Structure 1
Amino acid sequence: MEHVHLFVFTFLLSFIILPTVSAHLRQNYYHRTCPNVESIVRSAVTKKFQQTFVTASGTLRLFFHDCFVRGCDASVLLTSPESMAEKDSPDDISLAGDGFDTVIKAKAAVDLDPMCRNKVSCADILAMATRDVVALTGGPSYAVELGRLDGRISTKASVKHNLPNPTFNLDQLNSMFAFKGLTQTDMIALSGAHTIGFSHCGKFSKRIYNFQRGRAVDPTLNATYSRQLMQMCPRIVDPRIAINMDPITPQLFDNVYYKNLQQGKGLFTSDQSLFTDLRSRATVNLFAANSTAFQQAFVVAITKLGRVGVKTGNEGEIRRDCSAVN
């Protein structure tokens, strides 16, 4: 049992020793220029969420994709008449329109306040909206660090090799997240966002059809679950059909995602590898058994994610229109 106690001690210690907050980000950043910004954004996000649940997973995924590519600078929101922006990349083209619409509506609500007009960045609005959708689906509410500027560059080419692939193993995941300053525990906690996410058949079909020579189905998949996936995703089917990442509680931000991994019900290879690899299994087991530990780890991880590649000074601007540079 000694190694178990050591693991738990080390894990809890990670919450105490937080990385230094970016000098340019702080809570209540807009307390003088737009004191009501958080309540304005929360109200707009809540209204959008009540209209469609996809708002939650769409906004959360949008924040992750934005931060991982060029840093948290809202570059994923920029459009290009030649379809050469980040959002036009094959890895981003499946981002839910409701995520973009959430930021647009929140930005419009903020700018209706004369005191706030053109004073709050789209990047910060996306960060606040992400916190709000997590809370609206039953997850933790947390203080958001603000002060990001919006980037002026968005290219399709910059997306490639900057986002995790559904086929990644633990080493590949750790390598990509470490490059962003995130630990294995951060990565496992952020993967828990798949508790409210969804995907399309083409992203995992190889796991249920033609997995390997001599094996039709990935053996790490739960047999009953794989049959269910085959029913929802037959060989010849519209690849755009959406499948819940969490088949048990898809509309709750909870720790059931990790319980699913224990039962072989991770939709992606990258999900299931968190349990099949002994180096990460203990953390999965902890999060599955302790919802508070998961939520605390998630807050730590998404706060660190929000510090990646922050633009300041001449590096960015506050966009008047989130989809176009000023």
Structure 2
Amino acid sequence: MTITKSAEFAGEDAVSAPDSESHSDPHADAHSSATQPPSTARKLKEAAKSLLPDSLFVSLLHHKCIGRYPNLIHPVTFNEKILQRNLRPDPRYIHLSDKLLVREYIAAKIGEKYLIPLIAAPDAFTPEVFDALPDAFVMKANHGSSFVEVVRNKSETSFEALRVLAERWLTTDFYNIARERHYRTIRPRIFFEHLLLDQRGQIPADFKLHCFGGRPGRPIIYILVISDRFGNDTHGDVYDVEWNHLDIAIGPYKRSATPAPRPRHLQDVLDVAMRLCEDFDYVRVDLYAPDNLVYFGELTFTPGAGVLPFTPDSIDYEWGKLLA
């Protein structure tokens, strides 16, 4: 594809994000725009973005986030191949990316015990729904990424505050964020889950297992562990299946100075991931592993929307070789 200089400047301005973190994660921009009232400038920017064809949009976004234009015809890197998925998704991605519908798949595949208990998935969020919620819960939306609100004490929030947030989520067209086409037909819904806490009363780390191979029992797996995601000391550390702390950084997350202790039930985590990835040539399986338990988070087929920076950059090419 040939991009003129004027189109480059106009297009990249149209897909630019309002903060530096969003440059490495377009979904962070989605969360920001869905939790704050849209300004006139943002409305104009969104209107400009909507005029760009998908292939041009993702090329400009990739250049802004990764520093080079992607090869969409003969992709080589991990991100380039993910961009192809954005534009030509497997039909299965629609159902499995819906955070409510995927629960049916998980229950049938590995069992309901791995599902975080669902409190409510109402057709409408009303004062009656709010009143019936427990003192602690998590509010989520099913149709995208980063739509998560942790409530540890219901008395510290209100129905009106959560209603406003829920309405912003529901009116956010997640497809427009990075042109991941499988999100276009997911019907937005709000739902509420049990708040997972470990024995220390802390929110457990996210285990994001990048699974390559699609061969039962023999995938190649890299584990990104995001700790203190909702706190002030967030880190992202990459391990192999032997829990070796790898010199890799993904997205905006900084590595910890020292690795976390090897989970005693690491093999249980890996076993669940291997079961869930066996039908795909690549999928990121998100799990939570508080204490000796394992809970399902989500399946992600286009992580970072294909604009996920790696440090070192060579990992983008190495993982590209693993993805058919």
Q: Same fold (TM over 0.5)?
A: no
TM-score, normalising length from structure 2?
0.30
TM-score, normalising length from structure 1?
0.29
